[in-house]
Structure 1
């Protein structure tokens, strides 16, 4: 008897191999980290190991041409992903927010979702070895009261967690309800990424 796979969780993945864009974004992230006092203060107050513009700057594509270029790329990929997800939308997904992350050695993000959005994601700009993987959680996990532990060789779609090692130029996108976290990194140099939400 055939087995059907139900309620799939999709993870969109693309490689952006534009070295000039990566270089421009890396420079911009470091400049923001040095100049954005409000972001520095928020990062310090929240115990963020590094810098994020999450709560301080909401106009990066208008502020910097590199982010405007990235915005155009993200819009195209978000539209492709929404089509693959069979979203019945009356318009293309709209970039709602975009922020930079400069994560120091040992830095991490605890597990979370992105409320009030339909798609979320991260674009990796610089990713030194051992700089912190992103881990996704099976959304059914809280309901698996008596489910046995899966074998180590279980197929990816049956695992309770799936971990992705970031590389420079990697774009990941997922539905915003998917819980995820950044595991602590061991790298001695900064990990640069840009996160975003679409509504």
Structure 2
């Protein structure tokens, strides 16, 4: 029996933007020089991080050229992926984002519990140093299907035989790389497995929301 022509339309997609930033090596060197000494000087914050160190969420205000360059580049990616819905379609968004950003330094054994970023539209993670990523290092980033287990409830062995839909009801795994930028909706739950690298893993997290009022 001949299979009829099939058009696949993926409904309600969840975007994950992946990019590698230009000039990452020099920028990363400057960020590491500034932040690696701070855990010995400041206690840091505790939110989703289990172990490790987290800075105040004011990186965007620092008079540090590398930090300002990173904020500009991440904002450009967010701008390119955002539109405003008006009668007749979508138009490019030119928004004055309310941004906050902070540094995470995960030493050996540190991880991040499952969490989302309430109060923002886009969130992002930029990896300054992956800490020597490899199969034995762990520390993978996991994104969770926002529908939970629903797509897998009927029969956990069944999968949608459609590109991009195989993990419906489960998780997607990302292995960090230095210079990698990930941008995703702030409501998308994510976590980080315990990390056991040869040096600390350093990342910068961002939230982008619209100004209040």
Separation (CA, whole Å) in 2 of partners of 1:87 and 1:180: 29
The match for 2:173 is 163
> What is the DSSP-based 3-state SS (H/G/I as helix, E as strand, rest coil) of the residue aligned with 1:158?
coil
Q: Contact 2:83–2:92 (CA<8 Å) still a contact in 1? A: no
How many angstroms does 1:188 deviate by? 3.2
Which region of structure 1 is more displaced relative to structure 2, 156-165 or 5-14?
156-165
> What is the DSSP-based 3-state SS (H/G/I as helix, E as strand, rest coil) of the residue aligned with 1:67?
helix
Instruction: Pick the structure with greater CA Rg.
Output: 2
Separation (CA, whole Å) in 1 of partners of 2:171 and 2:48: 26
Q: Contact 2:160–2:166 (CA<8 Å) still a contact in 1? A: no
Is there any run of 5+ residues in structure 2 with no aligned partner, and where? 1-5
How many angstroms does 1:142 deviate by? 4.8
Q: Figure out how many residues of one structure are paired with residues of the other and give that number.
A: 193
Query: Which is richer in helix?
Result: 1
Change (3 A) 1:20 1:140: same
Q: Does 1:194 align with 2:199?
A: no
TM-score when normalising by structure 2: 0.78
The match for 2:3 is none
**Following superposition of structure 1 onto structure 2, how do residues 119-158 of structure 1 map, counting pairs within 5 Å?**
119-127=122-130, 128-129=132-133, 130-144=137-151, 146-150=153-157, 155-158=163-166
CA RMSD of aligned residues (A): 2.9
Is there any run of 5+ residues in structure 1 with no aligned partner, and where? none
Change (3 A) 1:145 1:15: closer
TM-score when normalising by structure 1: 0.83
Separation (CA, whole Å) in 1 of partners of 2:41 and 2:114: 28
